[in-house]
């Protein structure tokens, strides 16, 4: 189906707020979006979507957000062939610059290994950090957002990224 499944994990609500805002940005671009909180919804519903956006924050010095943590091993056994997937990662580059938005990098691995086509890569310009597993080549593997230090840049980043992924998903 052409509807995008947007699955997110959020401990303090920041990623949830971003997921809700992204849904409305994507809808402005003409996409249909179904939101799922990984804490309450069955992650295996991912198989019902050809287009996925997966969003996580980073916790515990470079680790995945807790709700993603509990399903992570199972993702390694899923087949993502035929799926187009984009990632969103929240982090704090000032306090955790050694592993900024690492969770997004970790989350991307089983999808990359198991056949997904990855879209939504994002430049690292405009961020200041030392290291991140979310960097693949010379770009972030998805949209990196830092609401702790760059809240004022969020709306514009989400808007530009929504235009980009709607195009890359082949929805316009
Ligand atoms: C205890 C703690 C550990 C964190 N660890 C990291 C980290 O390793 N890397 C990072 O980029 N951000 C880290 N963060 C920042 C969070 O990822 C960021 O605040 C995010 O917006 C939280 O989103 P959420 O409310 O959706 O969980 C940490 C925050 C806290 C409070």
| Ligand 1 contacts CB of residue 162 (under 6 A) | no
pLDDT at res. 2: 86
Q: Given the CA of residue 99, which atom of ligand 1 is nearest to it?
A: 9
Does the CA dihedral 48-54-55-60 come out positive or negative?
A: positive
| Ligand 1 contacts CB of residue 11 (under 6 A) | yes
4-168: in CATH 3.40.228.10: no
Token duo for residue 12: 């303090």
| Ligand 1 contacts CB of residue 65 (under 6 A) | yes
Q: How far apart are CA 51 and CA 4, in angstroms?
A: 5
State how far the alpha carbon of 56 is from the alpha carbons of 2, 104, 167, in Å: 23, 6, 22
Q: Given the CA of residue 101, which atom of ligand 1 is nearest to it?
A: 11
pLDDT in tens, the chain (172 residues): 689 999 999 999 999 999 999 999 999 999 999 999 999 999 999 999 999 999 999 999 999 999 999 999 999 999 999 999 999 999 999 999 999 999 999 999 999 999 999 999 999 999 999 999 999 999 999 999 999 999 999 999 999 999 999 999 999 8
Residues in the chain: 172
pLDDT at res. 87: 98
Half-sphere CA count of 156, side-chain side, radius 13 A: 5
Q: How far apart are CA 75 and CA 110, in angstroms?
A: 6
Beta bridge partners of 3: none
pLDDT at res. 172: 85
Annotated domain spans of the chain: 4-168
pLDDT at res. 47: 95
Give Cα 59 to chain centroid, integer Å: 15
For residue 88, report the distance from its CA to the centre of ligand 1, in Å. Answer: 13
pLDDT at res. 1: 65
For residue 106, report the distance from its CA to the centre of ligand 1, in Å. Answer: 14
| Ligand 1 contacts CB of residue 56 (under 6 A) | no
| Ligand 1 contacts CB of residue 154 (under 6 A) | no
């Amino acid at each position: 189906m052409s509807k995008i499944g947007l699955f997110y994990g959020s401990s303090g609500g920041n990623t949830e707020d971003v997921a809700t805002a992204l849904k409305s940005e994507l809808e402005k671009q003409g996409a249909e979006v179904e939101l799922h909180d990984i804490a309450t919804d069955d992650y295996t519903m991912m198989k019902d979507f050809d287009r996925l956006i997966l969003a996580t924050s980073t916790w515990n010095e470079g680790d995945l957000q807790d709700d993603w943590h509990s399903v992570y091993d199972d993702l390694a056994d899923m087949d993502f062939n035929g799926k187009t997937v984009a990632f969103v990662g929240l982090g704090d580059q000032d306090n955790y610059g050694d592993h900024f938005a690492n969770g997004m990098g970790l989350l991307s691995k089983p999808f990359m290994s198991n056949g997904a086509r990855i879209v939504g890569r994002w430049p690292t310009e405009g961020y200041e950090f030392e290291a991140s597993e979310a960097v693949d080549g010379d770009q972030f593997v998805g949209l990196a957002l830092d609401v702790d230090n760059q809240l004022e840049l969020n709306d514009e980043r989400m808007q530009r990224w929504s235009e980009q992924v709607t195009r890359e998903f082949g929805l316009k």
